[in-house]
Amino acid sequence: MHFAGKVWRLLVGIKDGLVLVFMLLFFSLLFAVLTARPSPAAVRDGALLLDLNGVIVEEKSRIDPFEALIMGSAPIAEYEVRDIVHALDAAASDDRITAVVLDLDRFLGGGQVHMQDIGEALDRVRAAEKPVLTYATAYADDAMMLAAHSSEVWVNPLGGAVLTGPGGERLYFAGLLERLNVNARVYKVGEYKSAVEPFTNTGMSAPARENAQALYDVLWEEYRANIKRARPSFDIDRVTGDPDEWVASTQGDLAQAALQAGLVDKLGSRTDFEARVVELVGEDDFGEGPNPYPHTELSAWLADNPRALPGKTIGVVTVAGDIVDGDAGPGTAGGDRIADLLDDALDDELAALVVRVDSPGGSVMASEVIREAILRHKANDIPIVVSMANVAASGGYWVSTPADRIFAEPETITGSIGIFAVIPTFEEAAASVGVTSDGVRTTPLSGQPDPIAGFTPEVDAILQSVIENGYEDFLTRVSEARGLTRAQADRLGQGRVWDGGTARQLDLVDEYGGLPEALAWAAAQADLADDEWHARYLGSEDSTYDTLLRQLFVDDSDAAQGRDIVALIAGDRRHALERVETELGGLLSRSGAQAYCLECPSQSLGRQPSTLSHGWLSTLVSLFAR
C-alpha cells in the first residue's frame, strides 16, 4: 500500500504539472491572439518609424505554418506598397507626426514602380514641411531610390552604397540536361519568347539579347532620371559609369565615396543618427537605448488611420505573382481563387472594378479563368480598369485584355504576348542505365504521351499545333481589346517585352498612372465625385490568425541588422539557390501551356521555404556534382 500511495502521488503530480503547462500555453496563446493586431493606443506624438526589414510587395503572401515548421524556414517580412503610401499620406496631414524615420538597414527591396510610388509619397511628406530621415549601413539600388527622396540620408561609416542597375546573368541548363540525358521538348510561338531558352540554349539568343538590352536600357534611364530629380546633387554618372575609379578615389572607403558623390548627406553610427532624430522630435523619457525618441510604428499607425469608406464601392482585385491553376495565394495568382473573389463580388453592386496586375504571367488556363471572371463583371455594365504595377506581362497582359482603360507607369514591364510549353522526357536517361522500351500500337497515339519511352512525331506535331492555336487565341484577345488587326497584334507580340513608355506608344496601354489614377478614372466613368466612392480590396482582409503567424514565423535573418557593403554585394546564398530552384524546377512545375515572361523580375524571392533538396532533378545534379 505504501508503494501504491507513492505511485498515486506521482501520477497526481504529473497530472497537476500537465494541467499547469496546458494552462500556461492556453493563456500565452490567448495573450498572443489578443495582442496580435496592433493597437491605435500605441500611437505617439513624434516620428513615424518605417523599419522596413524585408521586401515591398503588391500583395502579401499567406504563411503556411505546417510548411514553415517542416521546412525549418519561413518567408521574410513583406509590406504592401499601398499600406506604406497610405501611412505616409496620413502622416503628412497629421500634427502628431513631426518627422518620418526610414530605417533601411534590413531592407531587401521591391519593384521599381513600387519604389517610385513610395518616393512620391515621401515627397508629399516633405512638402508638408516634415523632415524625412533615412539610415542604413549599406544602400543598394532600391534603397537608394527611396533614400533619394529624404531630407537627410545617413550611412554608417563602415558601410556605403553601390548601384548596379537592371540586368545581369541568367542561368542556362541545356548542358546540364544533356549531361543528365534529359530531353526538354519545347513547343512555342514567338521569336522573342525566350522563357524556353534556359532549357534549350547555353546562352542568350540574338533576339532575346536585343529585347532584354532595349528593355533594361529604358528602365535604367528611368531610374537615373527619377533619382536625379529627387537628388540633383547625386553624381550618378561617376558612380555608375566608372565605379572602380570612384571607389579607388577614397582608397576603398565606400561611405566617404558615397558622401562625396552626393548619395548620402551624413556619416554616422545608429547612435549618431538617433541623436539627430532626438533633436527634431524630442527625447522619449521612457525609451530604451542611448538616444530614444518618441515614435509610432507602421502597424499601429495603420490601425489608427483606417481608410475612409464613403459612398459607393469600387472593387479592386489583385493579380500578383505567378499565375497558376487552382486556389494558390495570396501572393501567388491562383486562377480559381481570384475568380472566386470576383464571383463573390458580383452581387455587391460595385460601381466599377479595378484589376491591379503585378505578374509575369504563367498558366494560360488560369489566365483565361481570371479573364472570364472579369468579363462577368463587365457584363454588369460597370467600368473595368487595369492598373499595371511593376510587371504585367504575358499572362499578366492576357488578364488585362477586358479593360476599358489600361494604366501603366513608364517603368512597367508589359507585353510578352506569346505562349510556350516545355515537357521533359527521359528516354535517353533510361537507355543510359539499360532501360529500353518496346511494344505495339493500334494508332500513332497509343501509349502516348510516354515520358520514359519518349514522344512520337505525331505527339510532337499535335502539341506544337495546340501551342500555335493558343497563340492565335492570345492575338485574338489582344486585337479585339486594342482595336488592332491580327497582323498588327502579331507584330507587337512574338513574345517581345516592352517598357511602359513604349507600350503606350504602341497602344498596348492607354495612359500613364498608378493605382490612384486608375481608381479616379473608374470613379469618373461611374459618375462619382471624389467623396462619393471608396476602394475595397477583394480578399485582402488580414485575419488575427495570419497576423499571429507572422509574429511567430516571419524570418528576418536574411536582413540581419548592420549588413555591410561586402555582404550586400555578395548577396545571400540561399537566394541564389532559390533562383536555381525556381528556374530549373520550372521544367516540371509548370504544367500546361504557359504565357510567362522570362525577362521579368522574379516575384517569389523569399516567399517560399526552399525545397531544392527534395526535387528529383536536384538529386541527379548532386550525383554528378560529387
Active site residues: 193, 394
What letter represents residue 35's amino acid? Answer: T
Task: Kindly provide the residue ranges of all beta strands, DSSP E only, lying in 152-239, ordered along the sequence.
Answer: 152-161, 183-189
Q: CB-based contacts of 494: which residues, under 8 Å, 6+ apart?
A: 190, 191, 192, 193, 417, 418
CA angle 68, 72, 78 (to 5 degrees): 50
Burial of 505 (0-12, 13-18, 19+ CB in 10 A): exposed
Closest to 588 (Cα-Cα) out of 624, 610, 606, 612: 612
- Output phi, psi for 450, to 5 deg: -120, 105
Contact status, residue 294 vs residue 284, Cβ threshold 8 Å? yes
**Amino acid of residue 296:** T
Instruction: Say how many CA atoms lie within 13 Å of 53 toward its Cβ.
Output: 14
CA distance 277 to 381: 53
Task: State the cell numbers at 281.
Answer: 522630435
State the cell numbers at 24.
500556461
Residues whose CB falls within 8 Å of the CB of residue 202, separated by 6 or more in sequence, listed in order: 172, 174, 175
State how far the Cα of 582 lies from the Cα of 62, in Å rounded to an integer: 19
CB-count exposure of residue 481 (10 Å: 0-12, 13-18, 19+)? middle
Closest CA to 358 of 583, 117, 542: 117
